[in-house]
Every structure is written in C-alpha cells, then in structure tokens.
Amino acid sequence: MKTFPPAKIRNVALIGHGGAGKTTTTEALLFAAGVINRKGRVEDGTTTSDFDAEEIKRHISVSVALAPFEWHDHKVNILDCPGYSDFGTDTMAALRVADLAVFVVSAVEGVEVQTELMWKAAAKLGLPRMIFVNKLDRERASFSRTLDQLQQTFGAGIAPLELPIGEEASFVGVADLLSDTAITYEGGKPTTGDIPDEMEAQEHAVHESLIEGIVVGDDDLMERYLEGEVLDFKELEETLAQGVASAQVFPVLCGSAAKDIAIDRLATFICEIGPSPLDRPGVVVQAGDHETEIKPDPGGQPLAAVFKTLADPYVGKISLFKVLSGTVRPDAILTNPRTHNDEKLHGLFTLRGKEQVPINEVPAGDLAAVAKLGDVTTGDTLAPRGTPVLVPRPATVAPVLSVAIRPKSKGDEDKLMTALHRIREEDPALTVRRDDETHQTLLSGMGEAHLAIATERLSRKFGVEVETEDVIVAYRETISATAEAEGKYKKQTGGHGQFGVAFLRVEPLPRGGGFEFQDKIVGGAIPRQFIPAVQKGIEETMSHSGVFGYPVVDVKVTCFDGKFHPVDSSEMSFKMAGSIGFRDAMGKAGPILLEPVSLLEVTVPPAYQGDVMGDLNSRRGRVQGTEQGEDAESMVSALVPTSELLRYAIDLRSITGGRGRFNVAHDHYDPLPQHLYDKVRRDTATT
C-alpha cells in the first residue's frame, strides 16, 4: 500500500449499537473500493473484520478491527468497533485514535442505547461525528422516524445531506440535498437524474433548511445567500467540512450496506467533508517536567502511541499504533518511556482484518502495525531515543463482573498464569487477581460475554482449558459476649513431652477494633519467654479458623493465668495452648458472622432511579442519598452487602436497558442476619 500525506488520510471509527450493521458497512466500503471481490456475511462468519473464532461463532464484533482502503486519492482507515457494552474499552481505544466517528444507525430499530452512550463519549473527546442511517431496504424501516429520533436525542447540529428515494423493498437511491439531484442504484450502478416529482416539494424544503444551517457559520456566505445568490456546491461543501471538523455539524447520510446503495457516497463524503489528522487538535504529551502539544508533522521527530495489542498464537504479539509525529520506517529504533527499553520495529504492515499488508513507511496521522515488540502494551508510547516524551495513557475502567477460574488439569497452573498475562496484553479491560484468603484466581471484566470469550480464548489460543466457579465472599467472625476458657496442651511421647496451660478471657471490641492481646500473668504462672508463643497461637488461629471457618476480627484476648512444666514446657506447647484456649473461649462467647458491605454508587437516567432504589432495597441495601450528576443523571449511593452484588452488573443492565453504570468499593463489615447463616454454610460447603 502506498504512502499518503496526513491531509489525505481519514481515520474513521464505525460506531453504533450491536446489529446496526457496522461490519456489513465495512464490507460494503471495502467492496466498493475494490479491495475485496466479494462481500462476506456476518451470518456465516466470512467478513473481513470479524475474523476471530469467537466473533464468527457469535456473529458479533468483540474487538476493534482495522480495515484500510483507498478512495479518490485518499487513504481511509476504517476501525470497525464492537457494538456491545462488554467490549466498550476497545471502542474507546478506537475513538481516541480516530479523527471522525461515523455512527451507523438502523432505520428499523432507530437510536439505541450504545449509540447514545458512545455519542456522549465522542462528545467528551470533541470528536467530529457523522451518521449513516442503514438498512433502509428492510421491512419497517423509516428514515423520517429515525431522523426525528436523532434530532430529539442529539439536538442541534443534526443535518441530513440525503433523503431516501423509496423505503423498505422499494428503496432504490438517495436525493442529494446539496446538489438537488437524485442518485439511483437500480441495476447496481449509480445513475444521476432529477428529483422524483412526488418528493420534489419535500426535498426543496429540506434543501433550503440545510443551506441555511450551513451558511449560518460563515458571514460572507450568509450575506450572499440572503441576497438571493445561488451558492456554489464546492463552497457549501468546504463550509460544511469546517462545521464537521469543529464538531458543530453532524451530517446524516442514508443507504443500505447489504444492497450497496449509497455506500460509494458514504466513502466520498468521508473523504470530502471528513477531517484529516491535520484538522484535529494536536496531542498533548508529557515532555520531561512540562506538557507540550504535538502536531502530525511527517518531517518531525517520530512519535507513536500503541492503541491495540493482538495476541496471535503463530505470529506472536502484534501492536497497532498511530503515528503522532514524524515518519516511522522499518527497522526504526524507538524507546518505550515506561520501560526505558529500546524497541526495534522490524517489518511494518497494516492490517485488513487478519490480512497483513506490508508498507514501506508510516507518516504522521496514519495507523499501522508491527509484530514481536518486547515489553510493549496497549497505551505505551514509542518515542525517539533520548527524548523523554510520554503520551498520557487512557484511564483504566474498573471491571464490573468477576468469576473464579481454575485449570481443568492440575498441572496447568503455571501455564494458566502465562496465558492470562498474554490475554491481558490483548485486552486491558480484563484483570486477574489471586485472592489469598479464598485461594481463588479471579478473572474480572465488563460483563458475562466478555468473560466467556476470555475463557474461550484461553483454550483456543493458549491451550489452557479452565473451569469457572462462583466467587467466594470473604466473611469474618467475631464474638458478642465475654467468655473464659482453659487451653491445655499435653503430650507424652517418651522422653521430653509437651505441656502448656493458658487461661484466656475473650471480649468483643468495637467494629474495626482488630485484635488486642493483654498479658496479665503474675507470679510466673507462665514464664515470660512463652507469653509471645501464646499470642502467636491465638493470632494464627484467628487468621483462618474461627468457629465457622472464617478469619476472626474485633476481639480482645487476655491471658490471665497458666501452668508450665520445668522440663516439658516449650514455645510449641504454649502456642498450641493459646490456639486451643482461644477456640474454646470463642465458642462460648456468642460467635457471630460478619459480612462485607460495599459502598455502591449507581448513575442512571432519572427515569430509572425509582427502579434502582427498589432493587437495592431488595438486596438489603441502605440508600445513603441521591444527587444529580453529570448530564442531568441521577446518582444513588447505598451500602449493600457484597454478596448481593456479585452479579449486579447483569441485573443493572437489565433494569436500565444498559443505561446505568456503577462504582463499588469495600466499606466495612456488618453482622450477618441470623436467617442467612445456613445459606452461607451451604455455599461454603459447596466450594
């Protein structure tokens, strides 16, 4: 593939709700550009960008895929993004390197939740946006209904550039509102003609409204328009492009990716009114102790940012990157400021789905890939040697759902950890943690589908089959009364035996009090050197084996008497005496279970606040307050038992239609209600 200057590069993220037709649109664009000679189908897993085994199996995109093509002397880098919330981290990575987001909206389903959420995300990034209303050939499709939804949901700036000619089965083309012409696709090829008589009045009214919306941003054009001058098409297009680049105008196009209707026009508009990397603000980077802005200058110092990592079992690690400055060539040596290691970029290539297309150089603004870099992960910077330039890493997103995993084969523990490390390189939204208390390996991610695909990849890519189980909740034990007991350890085995007696008193401490040990031995009932052994025996017992088998907290233990033998007593005997005495005393002191309680903050549209609060009450939650958050959303804070939140991500998504989000953190421990003791014991027994 030849090299294009930044002004001729278009980096485009295709965004939208799952099923809107992003991957089909990608196929149609590649087919129109002559890159592929036949269009694959999502249904049978033959598309260019959905090549992963899990994508083929589920007929959905689960990670961002790069698909470049050439169009009208431009290079267009399409980033086909997942449409399901579980894989939103990949979509956000694409938004950060894209210069334009094209939102694909189904004319049947209209504006759906992921479209709304990603629109807000793009708006926060100040990213230019365009809309392609797809599936106008389908039954129940309606452009007017969808346009009304777009205007109601996203407000001012929504500007239709086309109207459909016919709808559903009779959809054959589009009316171009800028040029007042009709383009029909009967027979497969575009034919330009006059606007059909039956829609001429509607087209003229929308045309006038569009022209007024465009010229309002240019005083000279506005004056000439008001004087009755017929404005030149190119002038209007240039002014429109300025409005798009400033994220003030959001053009709406329409067509059918499945029938190849108006796909060529989508590609043309991307090139003609879509912004290039030069039209976007520079990237603010950390250079030493100060910040500076980097512009996409091909002649500058080479600087790149890795936005995606792929773990290929045959090729190894593939790093996708965007060149922010300079021109990167094969065998260039750049430094990773995070590790301070030099990285040699051997063969450079671009990806078209899974196909590797060799390239000779990558100028500023372009996207490319390189294989087999060392310790380079998603979010890393590749900077010139000796130049301490660091591109800020994207903020990490906290996982919302966890599952415990273990290898099916007991000998695969080390193999599993290696595979988990590699899969995390590919997907930073996954986290892995070993819980030393419950002895579980926890894999956490953004939802059920996300975790299911991660475990499938462990097997397919790295040959590690795993079993999953529920996450064990880390309960605690304490006491509710004062009690005393004798801890006696006596053992005679021939020769020196073991003998130690410790009298202990246990008392409850306030919640969060931890552990206190008090020595009240007088008269040498226990020699001084053995007192620490008594305390150690108590602490070891508290750490893992209370009455119910959980760690013990918030207890004060007093050792007030004891007995010893001048020959048979030892540290071991008094350590055992402390352990035995503590177990006995605790059993008499009204032992109770404590459950962890989390502070939960839920952000939802106001319409769902009542449903969310009712659900929290059913989970034994205590609402602490509500307030208005960003974008007029409601934020509900509550204290909820952790055991009630293990699958909250799934339930909240169901309650709010995917519009809710939450943060959760451990807060404190509270006594477990007595009627739940049997359930906890059953759950513990099954694990």
Residue at which a domain ends, from 333, 355, 390: 390
Any domain includes 239: yes
Q: Average pLDDT of 34-50? A: 88
Report the pLDDT value the prediction gives residue 683, as an integer from 0 to 100.
63
**CB-CB contact of 113 with 658 (8 Å):** yes
The predicted model gives 433-462 an average pLDDT of 92
CA dist 207 to 161, 210, 375, 409, 627, Å?
Answer: 8, 5, 55, 67, 44
Question: Is residue 295 in some structural domain?
Answer: yes
Q: Does residue 29 belong to any structural domain of this protein? A: yes
Percent of the chain past pLDDT 70, that is, above it, reads 98
Answer whether residue 183 is part of any domain. Answer: yes
Domain boundary among 279, 309, 331: 279
| Range scoring the smallest mean pLDDT among 75-84, 103-112, 216-225, 523-532 | 216-225
Domain residue limits at 517: 476-589
pLDDT at 63 (0 to 100):
92
CATH of the domain at 185: 3.40.50.300
Q: Please tell me whether residues 128 and 241 are part of one structural domain.
A: yes
534 & 602 share domain: no
Q: Please, which pLDDT band fits residue 346 given cuts at 50, 70 and 90?
A: confident
| pLDDT of the residue at 115 | 96
467 pLDDT more than 90: yes
Q: Give me the CATH number covering residue 501.
A: 3.30.230.10
Q: How far apart are the two ends of the chain, measured CA to CA in Å?
A: 56
What's the half-sphere exposure (Cβ side, CA atoms, 13 Å) at 140?
A: 4
**In this structure, is residue 604 part of a structural domain?**
yes
Same domain, 260 and 302: no
Question: Is 443 found in the same domain as 481?
Answer: no
Confidence check: pLDDT of 204 > 90: no
Q: Indicate whether 682 pLDDT > 80.
A: no
Q: H or E stretch including 201?
A: helix 200-215
Q: Please state which of the ranges 228-237, 366-375, 668-677 shows the lowest mean pLDDT.
A: 228-237
Rounded-to-integer distance, Cα 595 and Cα 609, Å: 27
* pLDDT at residue 558 in the model: 97
pLDDT score for 24: 96
Task: For residues 100 and 52, state if they share a domain.
Answer: yes
In a domain, 395, yes or no: no
Pair 224, 99 in one domain: yes
- The overall average pLDDT reported for the chain is 92
When pLDDT is cut at 50, 70 and 90, the band that residue 687 belongs to is: low
Q: Is residue 396 part of a domain?
A: no
CATH of the domain at 636: 3.30.70.240
**Predicted pLDDT at 108:** 97
Q: Which of 93-107, 305-319, 348-362, 434-448 has the lowest mean pLDDT?
A: 305-319
SS3 letters for 583-650?
A: HHHHHHCCEEEEEEEEEEEEEECHHHHHHHHHHHHHCCCEEEEEEECHHHCEEEEEEEEHHHHCCHHH
Helices (H), 448-570: 448-462, 531-544
Whether residue 412 is contained in a domain is answered as yes
Q: What is the pLDDT of residues 347-383, one digit of tens each?
A: 899 999 889 999 999 999 999 999 999 999 999 999 9
Convert the pLDDT of each residue in 414-426 to its tens digit: 889 989 988 888 8
The pTM assigned to this predicted structure is 0.89
Based on the number of CB atoms within 10 Å of its own CB, is 436 exposed (0-12), middle (13-18) or buried (19 or more)?
exposed
Strands 283-287 and 173-176: unpaired
Helix, strand, or coil here: 682? helix
pLDDT tens-digit readout, 161-192: 999 999 899 999 999 998 889 999 987 789 99
Query: 54 versus 140: which is more confidently predicted?
Result: 140
Provide the number of structural domains found in the chain: 5
pLDDT of residue 221: 82
pLDDT for 587 beyond 90: yes
**88 and 192 share one domain:** yes
One domain for residues 270 and 352: no
Please compute the mean of the pLDDT values over residues 674-682 and round it to a whole number: 79
- Where among 361, 390, 419 does a domain terminate? 390
Q: Given phi > 0 = left and psi -120 to 50 = alpha, else beta, which region is 442?
A: beta
217 pLDDT band, cuts 50/70/90, is confident
Q: State the CATH number of the domain containing residue 316.
A: 2.40.30.10
Together in a domain, 171 and 264: yes
CA–CA separation, 68 and 55 (whole Å)? 20
* Same domain, yes or no: 484 and 570: yes
pLDDT of residue 668: 93
- Looking at the structure, do residues 251 and 326 belong to the same domain, yes or no? no
Distance of CA 270 to the CA centre of its chain: 27
Long-range contacts of 279-286 (CB under 8 A, 24+ apart): 279/99, 279/245, 280/99, 280/245, 281/126, 283/324, 283/391, 284/392, 285/324, 285/381, 285/389, 285/390, 285/391, 285/392, 286/389, 286/390, 286/391, 286/392
pLDDT tens track for 588-629:
999 999 999 999 999 999 999 999 999 999 999 999 999 987
User: Which of the listed ranges 37-46, 125-134, 566-575 does the model predict with the highest average pLDDT?
Assistant: 125-134
Question: What value does the mean pLDDT take over residues 126-134?
Answer: 97
Mean pLDDT value of segment 493-522: 91
As a dihedral over the C-alpha atoms of residue 356, residue 359, residue 363, residue 367, rounded to 10 degrees, the angle is -10
User: 34 and 118, same structural domain?
Assistant: yes
The pLDDT of residue 196: 92
